[in-house]
Amino acid sequence: MVDYRASRESPSECANTIRDARQIALDEWYRSTRANSSLEFDHCFPESFVDELSRREVFNKHLFRPNTYLHKWWARRCGSMFRAILKHFAPESERRLYYAPGGLEGKVVLDPMMGGGTTLHEAIRLGANVIGADIDPIPVAQARASLTDAELPGLIHAFDQFYSRLYERLGSYFQTECPTCDVSTDAQYTLYGVRKACACREAVQVDQYELRQESGRTIRVCPETGKILEEVDASDPAPLAHLITKADKTCMSCRREYADLLDVPFYARYAPVAVAAVCERHGLFFRSPSELDHSRIAKADKRRDGLDFGPLGHYGVADGPKSGDLLRRGVHSYLDLFSSRQLLYLQESIRLLQDYRDAEKLNLAMLVSTSLEFNSMMCGYKGWYKRRPGAIRHVFALHAYSFPYTALENNPVNPRKTSGNLRLLFRDRIERGRKWAALPVERRVTAEGRSETVTIPGEVDGGKEVFNQADLVCGLRRFWLIHGDSRKMPIDDGSVDLVVTDPPYYDSVQYSDLAAFFRVWLARMLPDEFEWAYDETRSAVESGSGRGSFTDALSGIFAECARVLKADVGRMAFTFHHWDPDAWAELTIALMAAGFRLTNCYVVHSEHPISVHIRNLNSIKHDSILVFAVGDRGLAAAWTPPERIETNDSETFCRQCGVTLGWLLEGGHTESEIRAAWRGLIQGKADDRMSR
């Protein structure tokens, strides 16, 4: 029997005793003891220790692993979890300890669905040579930019020059005047309300009249005059015709519902309501847009039609599971999602980027691209909360397209480091990331429950890029990036030690479809560096019923993983969770087709309690960590399924799903039997058609 706290790494032994006992009891109940296992990960893993780290990391993943967050990507897993997974493949027992440096020198680690690149970053820190593959070019671009060794002083110099030239050309468009002293200053952002129409008039609709709450005062916009007021404990005024809130669905005069102006370009459906800025003498202020503010917007609008971004067809919105929401709102071009000032920002950025080369150009382009999530007319405003003054609700806050009532037009070239602008993003995504990559740190939880940082000597988050397998194995910390369909990879048979990945979330997050928002611009900024066009329908996300794209894609990818893994000692590990029995069924079918068998399953905490992945999903907040070998390969395994899979506790649910997966992969069941078994067990109904 395994003591998961024996490695001295458990942060709070007393608190973890119950969880450890629970795990051991479930192991005894569901799974026979495995003898003569060839790898440590086949029979033990420090669940409690990793669970504790994950519970802390999920709140601020980007602060724990800043070098992996250069560009937006979805559904990232905790780096600490993947470090622990990889550590347990180290041959020497002392190198398996979480805070010991390295341990995978000489190993080849593959992630065929690399997405945000967590596996690559964690494995290369441990000394492995890594292969990352993805059908979407954005993960490849991000991995190349963040893994390539580049001198930080050179990147800082390039950014400073790039930013200065941008500000020189665009700064005047984002000016405003202090209402107290009338001195011009850089606007922080402009707030817009969405234009709506009833049968008798047009109105401007906002989330609410309050713009900011501070100690002793509330800043609000007056619905009668549109002026900005500072009131103490004011009651809500009655809304009048020209400015209404989202609570006002029907016109009080004609009794007709307010409707969107779908025949107007999206950016023009919004009217400016307030400008926020900081005056050197008078501090932060909000003001209603002045004539000068309107003239700056009009000046940019006048230039809009003359901007040349290439063929308009390159910016067309294709119908997809998420982009279809744009089409239903009358948005047929990604160009329409940006104000005229934002398009000027994009045009000038594209022009200036052509003066840079290699790592500098790539990092700057990725920076501009990721800034678009904070610089489009789909950004919302949540700055009225006392704890989040001035905060931006970025485009993909809900992992989908949302259409704000109060839209926020950011100032990307604001000299002050404010939310979502270039200067702050450079500091957080590149400067902080590069410093961390040169000297990575981990968190350790003390016996008192506090977090402290631990430097890992000798580790570096970066390496040398190669472009074939022969060069990959000729040194340490080398990475090979493959852009393409992972159902057919140019990798030799039996040449990979480990496959560690994170499959897509079945049917809930259509990464490729959402990523088109960025791809259309990266294709202009980096036209020759990557192949930006590809068939999104080949991505591994379920889109219908029955055996769909999820199963077909994963079956092919897993078959390739089985082909390239080393015989006997090769392993594949990944994390997975989902309430839907069909998601587990399709995963089982794909694994079975590739010949994989489950060697063990572990469960750890994985999700922020208010994550968009788990909201309205009965709070599933754990991951099953699943470990596989190809075929039997000498492993004596005997899984016994539960009578039913409990759905009132996510930890128990994930553990029981892992056990059920192991049982089904050993049983030689048909696809229809597998689907019936999952549906019956998760719904709490025994399937009488199958013998156990």
Q: What pLDDT, in 10s, does the model give residues 86-95?
A: 999 999 999 9
Reference 218, options 229, 203, 205, 208; nearest CA is 229
The pLDDT assigned to 121 comes to 98
d(CA 370, CA 429): 10
- For 86, 292, 468, the CA distances from 315, given in Å and listed in that order, are 41, 32, 34
CA neighbours within 13 Å on the CB side: how many for 676? 11
Residue length of the chain: 692
d(CA 516, CA 535): 12
Percent above pLDDT 70 for the chain: 85
- For 23, 121, 342, the CA distances from 656, given in Å and listed in that order, are 11, 31, 50
Q: At residue 443, what are phi and psi to the nearest 5 degrees?
A: -95, 140
Q: Helix 650-666 to helix 671-682 angle, to the nearest 10 degrees?
A: 160
The pLDDT assigned to 217 comes to 78
Q: What would the two tokens of residue 111 be?
A: 């992630």
> What is the CATH number assigned to the segment(s) 13-149+432-665?
3.40.50.150
Mean pLDDT of 174-184: 96
The pLDDT assigned to 241 comes to 46
Residue 659: pLDDT over 70: yes
3-class DSSP assignment, residue 111: strand
The pLDDT assigned to 517 comes to 97
389 compared with 203, residue with greater pLDDT:
203
The pLDDT assigned to 49 comes to 94
Confidence band, pLDDT 50/70/90 cuts, at residue 537: low
Residue found under tokens 């429950």: 449
The pLDDT assigned to 31 comes to 38
Q: What is the pLDDT of residues 248-302, one digit of tens each?
A: 999 989 999 999 999 999 999 999 999 999 999 999 999 999 999 999 999 999 9
Q: What is the pLDDT of residues 617-640, one digit of tens each?
A: 456 789 999 999 998 764 555 788
Confidence band, pLDDT 50/70/90 cuts, at residue 683: confident
The pLDDT assigned to 63 comes to 86
The pLDDT assigned to 468 comes to 97
Mean pLDDT of 552-557: 92
Confidence band, pLDDT 50/70/90 cuts, at residue 185: very high
Q: What is the pLDDT of residues 125-175, one digit of tens each?
A: 999 999 999 999 999 999 999 999 999 999 999 999 999 999 999 999 999
Q: What would the two tokens of residue 544 be?
A: 């219908």
The pLDDT assigned to 7 comes to 37
d(CA 105, CA 90): 9
Residue found under tokens 């005024």: 237
d(CA 558, CA 551): 10
The pLDDT assigned to 618 comes to 54
Mean pLDDT of 205-209: 94
Residue 508: pLDDT over 70: no
Query: What is the bridge-based pairing of β-strands 596-605 and 622-630?
Result: antiparallel
Q: What is the pLDDT of residues 636-657, one digit of tens each?
A: 557 888 899 999 889 999 999 9
Q: What is the pLDDT of residues 564-616, one digit of tens each?
A: 999 989 999 999 988 899 999 999 999 999 999 999 999 999 875 544 444 44
The pLDDT assigned to 41 comes to 87
Q: Concatenate the DSSP letters of all residues of 208-256 into one string.
A: -SEEEEETTEEEEE-TTT--EEEESSPPPPPP-SSEEETT--B-TTT-P
Residue 475: pLDDT over 60: yes
Q: Which helix (H) or strand (E) holds 284?
A: strand 283-287
The answer to whether residues 144 and 121 touch, using CB atoms and an 8 Å cutoff, is no
The pLDDT assigned to 507 comes to 61
Q: What is the mean pLDDT of the chain?
A: 87
Residue 504: pLDDT over 90: no
- For 156, 159, 190, 653, the CA distances from 412, given in Å and listed in that order, are 17, 14, 12, 45
Residue 313: pLDDT over 70: yes
The answer to whether residues 673 and 691 touch, using CB atoms and an 8 Å cutoff, is no
Residues of the chain with CATH 3.40.50.150: 13-149+432-665
Torsion of CA 31, 36, 39, 40, to 10 degrees: 60
Ranges of beta strands (E only) in 478-550 are 478-483, 498-501
pTM of the model: 0.89
Residue 47: pLDDT over 90: yes
Confidence band, pLDDT 50/70/90 cuts, at residue 442: very high
The pLDDT assigned to 76 comes to 87
CB atoms within 10 A of CB 494: 12
- Return all residues near 17 (Cβ < 8 A) that are at least 6 apart: none
Q: At residue 444, what are phi and psi to the nearest 5 degrees?
A: -125, 135
Residue 16: pLDDT over 60: no
The pLDDT assigned to 502 comes to 92
3-class DSSP assignment, residue 626: strand
d(CA 79, CA 64): 8
The pLDDT assigned to 540 comes to 55
